[in-house]
């Protein structure tokens, strides 16, 4: 039904001497991308009676909350949505300097036997997703786990993870950074590719 909605692929631009950042998505196109992801979710999960959205802390929670709000508008009813902290499940947490401050986990429902859609703003190495899988299993064993990401940084995986739902795909190198801003916390919806000045 919604096969007309296509993923957006953004090729990596050729660097120039003055290029420091490039806006990949903002304004109305940002909102259209969120709406497209919601339609794709509805196509697979119907009324969400057996599906739950879980945002990965710290930035994936804004994506999950925005998707949950949009789904409520479309479906006319709320969908279950939670926040998951992965601080002590990361494979590099012992290597970080200084004390770690975990974020809040908010999962006040049963996930056993449910279809879970994990959400993060940027998919890069895949290590965050592996940590989220471990953290999530402390709350039960889902029937199925899917991944939704707003930005897929391709060709940078350390772990073989693929998103089921993707907003945009970006080819980037390790020295670049993708930053997703949300109007709830940053004042605007925007995705920017930051590059070192040449």
Helix (H, G, I), strand (E, B), or coil: what is residue 150? Answer: strand
CB–CB of 86/131 below 8 Å?
Answer: yes
**Is there a domain that residue 51 lies in?**
yes
**Is there a domain that residue 33 lies in?**
yes
**Is there a domain that residue 3 lies in?**
no
What's the pLDDT at 198? 53
**Is there a domain that residue 80 lies in?**
yes
What's the pLDDT at 95? 64
What's the pLDDT at 156? 85
**What is the count of structural domains for the chain?**
1
CB–CB of 83/89 below 8 Å?
Answer: no
What's the pLDDT at 141? 96
What's the pLDDT at 93? 61
Digit-coded pLDDT (tens) for 98-116? 777 889 999 999 999 999 9
**Is there a domain that residue 6 lies in?**
no
- Residues of the chain scoring pLDDT < 70: 1-19, 92-96, 197-198
Domain that holds residue 133: 28-173
Q: Residue 87 is part of a domain; what is its CATH number?
A: 3.40.50.2020
What's the pLDDT at 174? 87
Digit-coded pLDDT (tens) for 18-32? 447 899 999 999 999
- Burial call 82-98: b when 16+ CB within 10 Å, e when fewer: bbbbbbebbeeeeeeee
């Amino acid at each position: 039904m919604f096969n007309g909605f296509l993923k957006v692929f953004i090729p990596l631009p050729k660097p120039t001497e003055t290029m420091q950042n490039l806006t990949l998505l903002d304004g109305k196109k940002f909102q259209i991308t969120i709406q497209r992801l919601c339609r794709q979710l509805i196509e697979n999960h119907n009324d969400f009676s057996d599906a739950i959205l879980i945002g990965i802390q710290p930035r994936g929670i804004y994506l999950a909350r925005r998707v949950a709000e949009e789904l409520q508008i479309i479906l006319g009813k709320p969908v279950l949505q939670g926040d998951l902290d992965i601080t002590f499940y990361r494979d590099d947490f012992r290597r970080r300097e200084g004390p770690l401050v975990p974020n809040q986990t908010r999962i006040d429902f049963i996930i056993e036997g449910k279809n879970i859609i994990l959400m993060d703003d940027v998919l890069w190495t895949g290590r965050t997703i592996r940590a989220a899988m471990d953290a999530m299993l402390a709350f039960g064993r889902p029937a199925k786990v899917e991944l939704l990401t707003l930005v897929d940084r391709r060709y940078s995986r350390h772990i073989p993870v693929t998103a089921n739902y993707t907003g945009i795909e970006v080819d980037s190198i390790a020295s670049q950074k993708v930053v997703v801003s949300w109007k709830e916390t940053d004042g605007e919806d925007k995705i920017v590719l930051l590059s070192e000045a040449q």
